[in-house]
């Protein structure tokens, strides 16, 4: 059984199954977008993760959720802190610490890039690093809360470690040079597609792509440009843009 299924089964013992599914879905989306280096969308998914988590806790306390348009994650997280008693949620960590973390995280995701000097550091990257770590901590605390139901300490520890495992971006750009995690590609073709994926929606010329692939320890003749044809659009100057077929191919590579 995968770690994802273990977490889902464990949380479903105490929380509504559909709320659990939503929470895990957004957590995985946060991780995926973070690893892709898509900071803005990672933050957006973190906001959705907070909303799903607050709904998870509110219904755990036996409360009814309002209409979607009336639900404000920050406000309801504060209501959990102020209004939910120890008889409704016995764990102080779940009743107080997780909602406080949700309020802080929601503030980050709601004010993306607005509080930093962007000349020094990409503000979305800074926020995404913080948000990803905090989402992992929140989910690990939920797992810890549910782990008392017949799970051995060692089993619980392994599940929690899989959740809070430190993650790194798959893509890196240094002075305009794109690098891809070597564990993610198995051929020069895959490497080239992933570089074009990172470059999208900008085009990349043939020589620039060949040089980028070469930096990943592939020989000069390893990349066969004709094999890229089904995945790219090439303009009259030979500048390549990754098509939808190529983006789909890369996303399949990323999840494996």
* Total domains present in the chain: 2
Distance CA 46, CA 29 (A): 8
The tokens for 215 are 């930096």
Note whether 190 and 157 are same-domain residues.
no
- CA separation for the pair 90, 74 (Å, rounded): 21
Given 104, 139, 164, the domain boundary residue is 164
**Domain shared by 46 and 114, yes or no:** yes
Residue 152 sits in the same domain as residue 229 = no
Residues 175, 160 share a domain: no
151 and 197 share a domain? no
Are 240 and 199 within one domain? yes
Last residue of a domain, one of 114, 132, 164: 164
The answer to whether residues 77 and 115 belong to one domain is: yes
How far is 36 from 137, CA to CA, in rounded Å? 20
CATH classification of the domain holding 53: 1.20.120
Q: Whole-prediction pTM value?
A: 0.72
Q: Based on the domain organization, do 18 and 116 belong to the same domain?
A: yes
pLDDT score of 77: 95
Q: Are 9 and 24 in contact (CB under 8 A)?
A: no
**Nearest CA-CA partner of 93 in 33, 38, 145, 42:** 145
In this prediction, residue 20 carries a pLDDT of 94
Domain boundary among 107, 130, 164: 164
User: What does the pLDDT read at residue 114?
Assistant: 45
Tell the residue number behind the tokens 């797992």, with chain if given.
143
Order of strands, edge to edge, in the sheet holding 239-242? 204-205, 239-242, 232-234
* Residue numbers of the domain that contains 126: 3-164
Instruction: Give the three-state DSSP class for 120.
Output: coil
Query: How do the pLDDT tens digits run along the chain, 256 residues long?
Result: 666 777 888 888 889 999 999 999 999 899 888 888 888 899 999 999 999 999 999 999 999 999 989 999 999 999 999 999 988 888 888 999 999 999 999 998 887 554 444 454 466 888 888 999 999 999 989 988 888 666 666 666 677 676 656 667 788 888 888 888 877 788 889 899 989 998 998 999 888 898 888 888 888 777 888 888 899 998 888 899 999 999 989 888 877 6
Q: Are residues 91 and 68 in the same domain?
A: yes
| Residue 30 and residue 155 in one domain | yes
- CA angle (67, 78, 87) in 5-degree steps: 95
Residues in CB range of 154: below 8 A, 6 or more apart: none
Residues 128 and 234 in one domain: no
* pLDDT at residue 116 in the model: 46
Residues 214 and 239 in one domain: yes
């Amino acid at each position: 059984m995968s770690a994802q299924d273990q977490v889902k089964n464990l949380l479903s013992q105490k929380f509504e199954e559909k709320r659990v599914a939503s929470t895990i879905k957004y957590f995985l989306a946060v991780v995926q977008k973070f690893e892709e280096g898509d900071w803005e969308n990672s933050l957006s998914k973190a906001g959705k993760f907070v909303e799903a988590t607050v709904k998870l806790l509110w219904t755990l306390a036996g409360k009814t959720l309002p209409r979607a348009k009336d639900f404000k994650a920050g406000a309801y997280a504060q209501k959990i802190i102020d209004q939910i008693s120890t008889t409704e949620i016995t764990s102080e960590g779940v009743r107080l610490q997780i909602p406080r973390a949700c309020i802080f995280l929601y503030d980050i995701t709601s004010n993306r890039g607005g509080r930093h000097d962007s000349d020094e550091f990409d503000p979305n990257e800074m926020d995404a690093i913080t948000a990803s770590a905090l989402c992992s901590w929140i989910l690990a605390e939920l797992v810890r809360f549910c782990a008392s139901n017949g799970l051995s300490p060692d089993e619980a520890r392994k599940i929690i470690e899989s959740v809070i495992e430190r993650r790194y971006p798959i893509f890196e750009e240094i002075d305009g040079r794109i690098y891809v995690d070597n564990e993610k590609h198995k051929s020069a073709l895959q490497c080239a597609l992933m570089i074009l994926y990172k470059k999208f929606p900008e085009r990349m010329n043939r020589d620039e792509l060949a040089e980028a692939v070469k930096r990943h320890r592939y020989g000069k003749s390893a990349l066969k440009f004709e094999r890229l044809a089904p995945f790219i659009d090439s303009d009259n100057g030979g500048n390549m843009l990754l098509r939808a077929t190529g983006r789909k191919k890369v996303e399949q590579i990323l999840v494996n």
